[in-house]
């Protein structure tokens, strides 16, 4: 198998083109538990370091073992994850930005989660829903509150349009251009969740950025869900998100202080 190479040293130094993945990434993504154990044995004392080395898109062997479609059956995944966690493996490397501010113009500041975080949540939310549907439905309702932005009051918007230069006319047709009316998202999705389709609402919730001031609340909700459903990988992800958000918040505060000087 992977460890049967005549030159173990060359094997351990090898990297794939494009994603720059090591043999350990390969074993986590495609190999069996015995393949993974053999590779870790070859790395020896360096194994504790290698388990937290990411590929070019920021994915560690642990993330691949638990999330890659080719990583095997649920039991095989759990076995590989347990093996990597013995070496204190992380889902994401230290320093990877898991939060990104979304340009929204004036108004509510929005934050998007790293694509890899969203992909893992998409899978683990389904598992949490199967474990405890009522708990998961409550989580989704509260999650919705973290992403829903205030809607523009149509009557107020109409009043403003009447006041002056915001009124637009089509020069050729002479037709007044009316403001776009938004349909509130919260009641629609809330009804969808309450009707028993919470898991089907997850792709939409994942696509929506979170309000910056609601990030701590979202992380608390994630922790409660992971504990209630006894989902160990979700608990691990939540802890890494908390750490990443602290780093992000500290960085934002530092930049704000510098800007005021």
pLDDT at residue 184 is higher than 80: no
Rounded-to-integer distance, Cα 201 and Cα 140, Å = 8
**Structure-model confidence comparison of residues 174 and 48, the more confident one:** 48
Contacts of residue 243, defined as CB under 8 A and 6 or more positions apart, other chains included, come to: none
> Which of 236, 206, 242, 218 is closest to 91 using CA atoms?
236
Are 131 and 231 contacting, i.e. CB atoms less than 8 angstroms apart?
yes
- CA-CA-CA-CA torsion for 72, 83, 58, 109, nearest 10 degrees? 100
pLDDT-wise least confident of 12-26, 125-139, 141-155, 226-240: 141-155
Token pair recorded at residue 183: 């349909």
pLDDT at residue 93 is higher than 90: yes
Rounded-to-integer distance, Cα 253 and Cα 105, Å = 20
Average pLDDT over residues 225-246: 96
């Amino acid at each position: 198998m992977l460890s049967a190479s005549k030159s173990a040293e060359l094997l351990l130094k090898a990297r794939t083109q494009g994603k720059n993945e090591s043999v350990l990434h390969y074993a986590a993504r495609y190999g069996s538990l015995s393949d993974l154990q053999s590779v870790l044995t070859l790395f020896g004392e360096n194994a504790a370091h290698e388990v937290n080395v990411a590929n070019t898109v920021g994915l560690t062997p642990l993330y691949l073992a638990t999330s890659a479609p080719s990583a095997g059956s649920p039991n095989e995944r759990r076995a590989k994850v347990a093996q990597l966690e013995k070496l204190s493996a992380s889902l994401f490397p230290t320093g990877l930005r898991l939060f990104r501010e979304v340009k929204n113009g004036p108004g509510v500041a929005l934050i998007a989660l790293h694509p890899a975080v969203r992909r893992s949540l998409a899978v683990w939310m389904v598992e949490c829903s199967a474990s405890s549907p009522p708990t998961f439905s409550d989580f989704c309702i509260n999650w919705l509150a973290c992403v829903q932005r205030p809607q523009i009051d149509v009557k107020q918007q109409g009043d403003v349009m009447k006041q002056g230069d915001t009124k637009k006319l089509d020069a050729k047709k002479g037709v007044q251009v009316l403001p776009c009316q938004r349909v509130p998202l919260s009641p629609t999705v809330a009804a969808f969740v309450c009707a028993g389709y919470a898991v089907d609402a997850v792709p939409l919730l994942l696509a929506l950025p979170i309000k910056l001031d609601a990030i701590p609340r979202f992380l608390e909700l994630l922790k409660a869900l992971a504990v209630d459903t006894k989902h160990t990988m979700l608990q691990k992800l939540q802890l890494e998100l908390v750490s990443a958000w602290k780093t992000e918040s500290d960085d934002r505060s530092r930049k704000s202080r510098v800007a005021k000087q």
